[in-house]
Each structure stands twice: as C-alpha cells, then as structure tokens.
Structure 1
Amino acid sequence: METEMLPVAETALEKTHLRVGFVALSDAAPLIAAKVLEFGHRHGLTLELCRQPSWAAVRDKLLAGELDAAHALYGLVYGVQLGIGGPQADMAVLMVLNRNGQAITLSTRLARALDEAGNLKTALATLGRPAVFAQTFPTGTHAMWLYYWLAAQGVHPLEDIESVVIPPPRMVDALERDTLDGFCAGEPWHAVAEARGVGETVAATSEIWPGHPEKVLACRRDFVAQYPNTARALIQTMLEACRWVDAPSHREEIARWLAKPEALDVPFELIAARLAGREGGKRFPQPPLTVSFFDGGTVNYPRVSEGRWFIEQYRRWHLLRTRSGGEGNETASDAAIAAAINQTALYRDAATLSEVPIPGDTQTVFLCDGAAWR
C-alpha cells in the first residue's frame, strides 16, 4: 500500500538539501533546468545534481543512500522492487519525467541490409553470426522497447540476437568499433551515431507505444515514509521544471545547458534538433513524436496500469517467473505491486498544490503489433 499522506497543506520540510542523480541523456533536461533556475528554492529545497556513469550506478547509489532521488528508467525501479538480477528493495516512483523520445539505431551496414532485404530477420541473416544489440539496463525501458520491437519484426530477442548492457554514452563507440549491430537508448546518442556515420535511426519508441512513459523521478520507499513533505516538495519542484522545459521556446535554451561538459558534453547541434522535434533522423521524412515533459500535466501522473505493463513484459521474457494460481491472481498481484510503487496519492497532493491538472487513472493504448493495453 502507498504511504498515507498528510492533508494537502504547506508543511515544514524534514530535509532541505537533496542529492539527485541523472545519466547523460537529453531527457535529463528537467533536472538540469531545476538546478540552473533553482526551482527548488521556491519549495524550500536545494538540489545537488550528481551525474552517474550508468543506470547500475544510479541503482546502487539510491540503495546505499548516496542519492536521495534520481532520474531513472521506469523499468529500473520495477526491476529493483522485484529483485530481478540484483538487490531487492522497496522502491517508489514519485512522478513520470517524460514520455517518448527514445529510438533504435542500427549499424550503417545492417541498416543498408534492411533496405535491401525488406525485413529485419532476413537482414540479420546477412551478418553470418548472431547480431549484438545493446540496451541500457536488463529490466529498463530500453530493453523492453527493444525486445517488443524485435518480436514485432519476427525476431526473438532471447534466441535470435545477443543482448548486452552498455551505458548510453558508450554505445556509439561500440558501434564504431563494429562490436555492436544496433542499440536502443535515449538521445542524443542516436543523433551522435548518425553524425559520425556509423549508424542510422530506424525506429522511434513512440512508434512502439505512442506516449509511452520513459524516465521517472525515483527514490526508495523509505525516503517517502521518512520525508513525506520533502518528497512532495520535490515533486512540485520537478513539475515546475517539466512545465518550463516543455515550452517550445525553451527547448533551444535547455539544449545549450545540456551541451555543457558537466551535463552531456555533446555538441549543442546534436542535442537541439531532436529535443525540439525538428527531426528524428535521416530516415524520417516527418519527425516522430518528440519527447514530452509536461503537456498540461498529462505526462507526469504515475499510472498504475503503466507499471503493470512492465511486470507483464518481465514475465513474457522470463525475467520474472509466472506465479501459480491463475491469470486473475497474477493481475491482482501485479496491480498491488504497482500501486505500492507508484505514489499516486503523494503525486495528487503535489499536483493540487502546484495547480497541475490530474489526468484519469485509466487509458487504453495500442502498441505497434496491434495489442491493446489498459
């Protein structure tokens, strides 16, 4: 069950200095904006941003208490909660930070083989060996988008390819060394691969699930229990940052901050075009759905149904063992797990204080293979 929250009111913060982690990706923009513009000060907080080399580092430092909260893969939080492939701990999703904005890039050689073959499975056969695809964390969003996309193309992600984990900033180098045939990650690394001439973006994740959740504001659940007012103030801070970043007139400005060495250390031009939605790669005559950070508050609500989707994918790909007792019991159990992780009551309190509309709990989405999810 979620932590019981105090009535919505201005209350004293239990902690005012927070260490918040992020990985070098364009969708860390709200955290960068929150620090540069010091949105936290309006809510009694001082944020200390801590760039991390990988998602595993984010996980480890959250669990060790070296980070209070972090920009994190949605699926990272669920993987830790379920103890898949690493330590188990009770985790919390405070809010969704962005939707869309990820992609799949193939090596130039494989992209050209795909053009000639007309389908991915035939193109992969031209390599003469199992293809190697990278994602960023075994239970993360990128792994799940990659697996879902491959399966929709008739390629089994556990049998037909080799899947490896590589931190996002290292993927283009691996593609250039010819030790990698493709990867799924966030921007700006797809733009960097095309600029170097070593890869081509062939799919946007918004084509797999339009409006999919991506990064979240994550923390341990005991942080919420110990510092409920601070956690609520942090959500308010990040809602303000997400609203600021989402304004089209601010995308160029945040791209310049992201380009700095202490953030992404990538040329501004390679960040701005895709962050602003002007292009999605040379194969896209029309840009795909761009990364969205606020959209009137529709981006940020942590729906329980979206958390359930990740648990179902873990079962599909044998990361999580199917429980006995029937499908109905599994569905109820998954819903309970997701309701405990996704701090909807806390989010509602923060959104109410920030005068941010709260969207409905239910929605139906259609994925690239025609499957519906509610």
Structure 2
Amino acid sequence: MTDTSCTRNDNLAWVAGSDAPEKGRVNLGFMPLSDAASLIVAATQGFAQPYGLTLELKRQTSWAGLRDRLQSGELDAAHALYGQVYGTHLGLGGAPTEMAILMGLCQNGQAINLCEPLRRAGVTNADALVAQVRQRGAKLTFAQTFPTGTHAMWLNYWLAAHGIHPLEEVNTLVLPPAQMVRHLRSGQIDGFCAGGPWGALAVDEKQGFTLATSQMIWPDHPEKVLACTRAFAERYPNTARALTMAVLEASRFIDASDENRRGTARLISGGEYLDAPLSAIEPRFLGLYEDGLGYAWRDAHPLRFFAGGEATMPWLSDGIWFMTQFRRWGLLKEDPDYLGVARQVHQLEGYREAAEALGIEVPARPMRSSRLFDGRVWDGSDPAGYARSFAVHAHPSLTPLAADARS
C-alpha cells in the first residue's frame, strides 16, 4: 500500500499542551471484516502518530468477546456493531455498561446468503424462500452474528417484510462471522447474514449465493461504529478526540479513489487482519458484485467509509432505529426514552470538534430521513409509533432476549 503518512502541521496543536492525549497508546479491537478497514489503515499507515497516538490493533474472534473486553477495559475502543453498542448500554443480555459512539465507521456492505442445496432446489428468490418455509417440515436455520447486532436486525427485517416471522418460522443461531462459510459448507446452517468478505467467499467457493445485500434493505444504512465505554470517553476526552480524528482521516483516504480502495483491500487481506483471499474482498470493496446465480452488477450503494462525512456522522436517528427494532422483537419490554438514550450514547460534540478541525462538514441536525425497501420512511420523529407499526412483530409472551453465544 502506498505510504500515506504526511506532515499535518495544521493539526499539531491538538497534540500539545492541554489538548495532548491523556493516553498515548490505545488498544483498539476489531473483527476480521472488510468494514474494519479504516481502523487498520489508521493504525498502520501513519494517520495516528500526528495526533500523539499509537494504535495497538487487537483482532477479536467473536462480538461477544469484543464486548466483554470493552466492558472490562482490556480494549480501550473498538470496531463495533451499531446495535450491539445500544444493547450493551441498555443491559440486553448482560449487565448494562454506559457506552459511547465516537463516530460511524461505514455504511452498507453486508449480505444475506443461502446455501448451495437451496439453490439446487430452486430457492433463489424471496417468494421461493417463503414457499420453502411454509412447506418444509423442519425449520430452516439462519445464522447472524450477535443478538442485538446489525445482522440480526437486517435478517429479521428482511424476513418479516416478506411475511416470514423470524422468531417463529425459522431457527436462528449466533456465529462469529469468520465461521459462517464453514457452517454453510457443513450443512449446519441454511443461510447467514454477515459482513464482508464472508458472503463473497461463500460465492467464490460455490458454497452459497447472495440473496440480498443489506443496502437493498436500506440504502446507505448505518453499520459499524467506533465505540468505547462512556467512562473511557469521559476520562480521556483528548484521546477520544485524537482517535476520532485519526480514523476520520483514514476513512477519507480510503474513499478518495479506487486506487486507495484497492491498496486498502490488499492491506486488510493479510493474515494478521482478515486472513482472507483478496478475490473475496476487493470486488465488493469496489462495489462490484456477483450473486452466485449468474448476475453481476455495480452497486449504487457500496460499502462507504466516508462519503463526504455522511458515513462517519453519528446520526441520532440511526441509533434510535435499532432501539425501535429491539422493541419490535421483544428485546425491550417497554419503550425507552429513545432520544434521551441516543443523546447519552452519541458523542456529538466530540465528533463535531474532530470533524471541523479537519474541514469536514457536520450537518446542523443529527437526524436524517431514509426510505427502506418496503417503502417505509424512517426519520426518527416517532420511534414508539414506528416500533408498533409493523404487522410482523414479537408476541408479548416471548422472553426479552436469549443468552448470547460466546463462541
């Protein structure tokens, strides 16, 4: 990868005197996924040092383990699932820990894949899947990556929009993303929802096909975030700001050109990061998709790390959306203070300081409006009503949350 280090004299004031990071060495957790790229680039390509930071990358094997290490302080900050941060903050599936989102890391780039036996049986679209679910004696089994994570919510939303109740008509289990293809190959699961490169790898190895991408569900949807505990953000505010600036610069660099994206794909494919074939990373990294059914396309909403600051902005409405889905699926027994919780979690002032110092425009309002694939518009204005508006939802007798897998 081309050396990206350069002198940033305009920003040296941030590492001097009272603005100097309180903690110069930061343990930074990440999962082996394509959308961890901005953290890897920030740590290895000279983006952190000008801010007085050394980023120690710590690869994790499961989202549950990453969460536990954030809570214990073994990790200072991490690449995290949007919904996972909220679940941890709200105490869903464990003891609550006040959490902080420093910035968004990406939008788009996840996929729902089905297995090769279903392809051979002609189950290659939503209608055929519905028919299969209704006719089959035993339930199909789908894997996702964390009970309150984004992949659980994309899978639930997509199934429900097609009339399949995700809590009653199929079985689901939790697997680390890097184990998805192996479980698909062995026949232990019929499909999965996870981030790249694992969906593309299933296609490359002819173990499955991509039925839907997450950006088909919600174009430019929220995905991963840079997260830490609220205690860390409050104890080390200069460190949190410097970390945000370093990752913002790395995010902007990746999105600046296809050449930068290709170089980044080569970097993250290495054994210490994703340990996956470049052929499963680079095409979807560039927005080039093949579904394993003979269809190829250039995606209008590819994996984005920066997008002029839209992908990095910690939109309050994005966080509130996940809480509406927790309520919909019985993970929350009552409506929370949706906006109040989001304001606690999102470090908007710190993000604004970091972004403006880098000349990145920050929207005046921390809410945005989006239209999902079922025609519903989400703008954060009535979360309680939105959560109740779906025909397919959890029955009140369902338990709030099954224990999460710790594989």
TM over 0.5: yes
Unaligned runs of 5+ in 2: 1-12, 380-407
2:7 aligned partner: none
Deviates most, 108-117 or 209-218: 108-117
SS in 1 for 2:356: helix
1:82 to 2:86 alignment: no
1:5 aligned partner: none
Asked if structure 2 preserves the Cα contact closer than 8 Å seen for 1:117 and 1:123, the reply is: no
2:234 pairs, out of 218, 225, 232, with 225
Amino acid at match of 1:285: A
1:253 to 2:263 alignment: yes
Cα distance, 1:127 vs. partner?
4.3
What does residue range 268-287 of structure 1 map to in structure 2 within 5 Å? 268-283=278-293, 284-287=295-298
Asked if structure 2 preserves the Cα contact closer than 8 Å seen for 1:119 and 1:153, the reply is: no
Amino acid at match of 1:286: W
1:15 aligned partner: 23
SS in 2 for 1:213: coil
Amino acid at match of 2:62: S
Asked if structure 1 preserves the Cα contact closer than 8 Å seen for 2:125 and 2:211, the reply is: no
Q: C-alpha distance in 1, partners of 2:78/2:173?
A: 23
Q: Deviations 1:87-142 (Å, cap 9, x if unpaired)?
A: 21000000000000001001122234324884321023454310100000000000
1:266 pairs, out of 276, 301, 304, with 276
Q: Deviations 1:40-95 (Å, cap 9, x if unpaired)?
A: 00111100000000101110000010000000000110000111112210000000
**Cα-Cα RMSD:** 1.4
1:362 to 2:370 alignment: no
Q: C-alpha distance in 2, partners of 1:90/1:184?
A: 27
Amino acid at match of 1:351: A
2:99 pairs, out of 77, 91, 97, with 91
1:114 aligned partner: 123
Asked if structure 2 preserves the Cα contact closer than 8 Å seen for 1:213 and 1:306, the reply is: yes
2:405 aligned partner: none
Asked if structure 1 preserves the Cα contact closer than 8 Å seen for 2:89 and 2:99, the reply is: yes
Change beyond 3 A, Cα 1:208–1:28: same
What does residue range 196-345 of structure 1 map to in structure 2 within 5 Å? 196-247=205-256, 248-283=258-293, 284-288=295-299, 289-323=301-335, 330=336, 333-345=337-349
2:197 pairs, out of 188, 196, 215, with 188
Amino acid at match of 1:132: T
Q: C-alpha distance in 2, partners of 1:116/1:170?
A: 24
Cα distance, 1:153 vs. partner?
1.1
Cα distance, 1:322 vs. partner?
1.7
Asked if structure 2 preserves the Cα contact closer than 8 Å seen for 1:38 and 1:46, the reply is: no
1:159 aligned partner: 168
What does residue range 127-142 of structure 1 map to in structure 2 within 5 Å? 127-142=136-151
1:101 pairs, out of 105, 109, 115, with 109
SS in 1 for 2:275: coil
SS in 2 for 1:159: coil
Asked if structure 2 preserves the Cα contact closer than 8 Å seen for 1:61 and 1:67, the reply is: yes
Q: Deviations 1:148-206 (Å, cap 9, x if unpaired)?
A: 00001110000001110000000100000101011000000011111121110010100
SS in 2 for 1:312: helix
1:327 aligned partner: none
Amino acid at match of 1:184: C
SS in 1 for 2:298: coil
Asked if structure 2 preserves the Cα contact closer than 8 Å seen for 1:151 and 1:157, the reply is: yes
Amino acid at match of 1:365: S
Q: C-alpha distance in 2, partners of 1:190/1:217?
A: 23
Q: C-alpha distance in 2, partners of 1:108/1:125?
A: 20
Amino acid at match of 2:366: D
Asked if structure 1 preserves the Cα contact closer than 8 Å seen for 2:102 and 2:227, the reply is: yes
Q: C-alpha distance in 2, partners of 1:276/1:117?
A: 26
Asked if structure 1 preserves the Cα contact closer than 8 Å seen for 2:27 and 2:75, the reply is: yes
SS in 2 for 1:349: helix
Cα distance, 1:319 vs. partner?
0.7
Q: C-alpha distance in 2, partners of 1:354/1:45?
A: 17
Unaligned runs of 5+ in 1: 1-8, 324-329
Q: C-alpha distance in 2, partners of 1:195/1:125?
A: 30
Deviates most, 271-280 or 185-194: 271-280
Structure 1 length-normalised TM: 0.93
Cα distance, 1:32 vs. partner?
1.2
1:72 to 2:80 alignment: yes
Q: Deviations 1:299-343 (Å, cap 9, x if unpaired)?
A: 1110111111000100100011124xxxxxx5xx11000111011
Asked if structure 2 preserves the Cα contact closer than 8 Å seen for 1:35 and 1:47, the reply is: yes
Q: Deviations 1:268-303 (Å, cap 9, x if unpaired)?
A: 111111111122423443233210000111111101
1:351 aligned partner: 355
Structure 2 length-normalised TM: 0.85
Asked if structure 2 preserves the Cα contact closer than 8 Å seen for 1:120 and 1:153, the reply is: no
1:62 aligned partner: 70
Q: C-alpha distance in 2, partners of 1:85/1:46?
A: 33
Asked if structure 1 preserves the Cα contact closer than 8 Å seen for 2:208 and 2:292, the reply is: no
Change beyond 3 A, Cα 1:116–1:339: closer
Change beyond 3 A, Cα 1:61–1:108: same
